[in-house]
Amino acid sequence: MKMNAYVAGVGMTGFGRMMDRGLKSIGAEAIEAALADAGVEKQDIQAAWMSNAAAGVLTGQECIRGEVVLRGVGMGGLPVVNVENACASASTAFNQACAMVSAGLYDVVLACGVEKMYFEDRAKVFGAFMGAVDIEQLGSILEGLQKSAAASGAKEASKSAGQNRSMFMDIYAAAARSHMQRYGTTAEQFAMVSAKNSFHGSLNPRAQFREAMTVEQVLASPMIAEPLTRPMCSPIGDGAAAAVIVSERKMRELGLTRPVRVVTSVLRSGWDHAGGEGLSEVCSREAFEEAGLGPDDLSLVELHDASAPAELMGYESIGLCPKGEGGRLVADGATWLGGRIPVSTSGGLLRKGHPIGATGLAQVVEITEQLQGRAGQRQVAGAKVGLCHNGGGNIGSDAAAQCVTILTGG
């Protein structure tokens, strides 16, 4: 969808373990930071899109999550839309908020994503991910993952899916093994993604993990589901991110000196397809066509690296390289800071963290700050165009939801 909306301000908590804080406290921190960054007051906000994915399962807070968080920060009386779309929840909230501004219905709106995932009962946490697939097919999905693992000799991947880890790591592991078999991609190349993102995360003060790792350290880490070692898997986490979105008229009224324009945001769901273009390919192609841009025009990308293989395969899906050449792209250094097309400069989901209901807006925060030249040590020189790629859930052989957003700086 073509947009005509601007990011006036962004805010974000650090991502990590917040055992003594709840949704209201975490969300308030990001919201207040975004309002301050935009230079607007709470009463200026005309509507809000509030994203959360797992509170119903993990805390019991259902139905009015956004209203609860906003009332906790002293914001009431405005229209509130609660958004839940698996790991694509926050990008969906941002997409819908931008669409309503672009349509001329509002001048100043808020999009916020907040998630609380650290609890003592880890099995309950991992069980929350089970709901991001078709639960009527859950038994056959788990059986298929176990058969795939057994057929390839993957001992760890053939047991405990969804019990001591998110079952999505098994889904990514199966896709990784297929990619290795088809294209000759290596475990070392997947480890390069994790090493790269660990370096980027070491430069991000809000990242959940700040330790830089070598490829050798990634490969020597505990195996989760072959070929994924622990640093190749995104962690659970607590955190929030928010953005204030305004119309062109309001942007001029506020006198924004470094406006970030939302050029397009494409949101689609998956479908049954046999080969050919998948969900990421279709969303990315549509976004580029609407923006009048191509992959070569991008300054940087925040990619949905819920696992290291997901980022590597994402290179190919959004057109950074041909199919099968993702391993070569990261091995050549192209996606590192200073490379041709830096990817996941925030540290990505792997190192910045992945509080699932906040992730998509955290990507918007990173791209916005990069386009405004305020990303500190991880600044991409001359950044002009950024792409956010955020997926969620799984149905059949593809993501259930996908959002691709392109932003440009002045």
What are the tens digits of pLDDT across the range 19-64?
Answer: 999 999 999 999 999 999 999 999 999 999 999 999 999 999 999 9
Residue 45, both tokens: 């906000």
CA distance 166 to 351: 17
Number of domains in the chain: 1
Evaluate whether residue 400 is within a structural domain.
Answer: yes
What are the DSSP calls for 246-312, one per residue?
Answer: E-HHHHHHHT-SS-EEEEEEEEEE-----SS--HHHHHHHHHHHHHT--GGG-SEEE---SBHHHHH
- Count the neighbouring beta carbons within 10 Å of the beta carbon of residue 59: 14
| Span 265-273, average pLDDT | 93
Looking only at the bridges linking them, the beta strands covering 2-12 and 239-246 are antiparallel
Torsion of CA 92, 96, 98, 101, to 10 degrees: -170
Q: Are 326 and 313 in contact (CB under 8 A)?
A: yes
Evaluate whether residue 367 is within a structural domain.
Answer: yes
Evaluate whether residue 125 is within a structural domain.
Answer: no
Three-class secondary structure of residue 150 per DSSP = helix
Given pLDDT bands bounded at 50, 70 and 90, which one contains residue 160? Answer: low
Residue 344: CATH number of its domain: 3.40.47.10
pLDDT digits 0-9 by tens, 130-149: 889 988 998 888 888 888 77
**C-alpha closest to that of 409 among 378, 351, 379, 368:** 368
Evaluate whether residue 277 is within a structural domain.
Answer: yes
pLDDT for 391 beyond 90: yes
Q: Residue holding tokens 């040590």?
A: 377
Three-class secondary structure of residue 378 per DSSP = helix
- Specify the pLDDT at position 220: 98
Sign of CA dihedral 86, 88, 93, 97: negative
- Specify the pLDDT at position 228: 97
Q: What is the CA radius of gyration of the chain?
A: 20
pLDDT digits 0-9 by tens, 276-314: 789 999 999 999 999 999 999 999 999 999 999 999 999
Evaluate whether residue 163 is within a structural domain.
Answer: no
Looking only at the bridges linking them, the beta strands covering 47-51 and 108-115 are parallel
- Specify the pLDDT at position 274: 72
Q: Are 248 and 4 in contact (CB under 8 A)?
A: yes
Residues of the domain holding 294: 2-120+236-409
pTM of this prediction exceeds 0.85:
yes
Residues tagged active-site: 87, 354
Given pLDDT bands bounded at 50, 70 and 90, which one contains residue 176? Answer: very high
Q: Are 39 and 247 in contact (CB under 8 A)?
A: no
- Specify the pLDDT at position 143: 82
CA distance 310 to 227: 12
Evaluate whether residue 401 is within a structural domain.
Answer: yes
- Of all residues in the chain, the percent with pLDDT exceeding 70 is 97
Evaluate whether residue 228 is within a structural domain.
Answer: no
- Specify the pLDDT at position 167: 83
Evaluate whether residue 18 is within a structural domain.
Answer: yes
Cα angle 185, 329, 207; round to 5: 100
Buried b (16+ CB within 10 A) or exposed e, 121-140: eeeebbbbbbbbbeeeeeee
pLDDT for 335 beyond 80: yes
Peptide bond preceding 227: is omega within 30 degrees of 0, i.e. cis? yes
Q: Are 371 and 383 in contact (CB under 8 A)?
A: yes
CA distance 160 to 151: 16
CA distance 380 to 203: 12
The alpha helices in 163-299, defined as continuous H runs, are 167-183, 187-202, 215-220, 248-254, 279-291
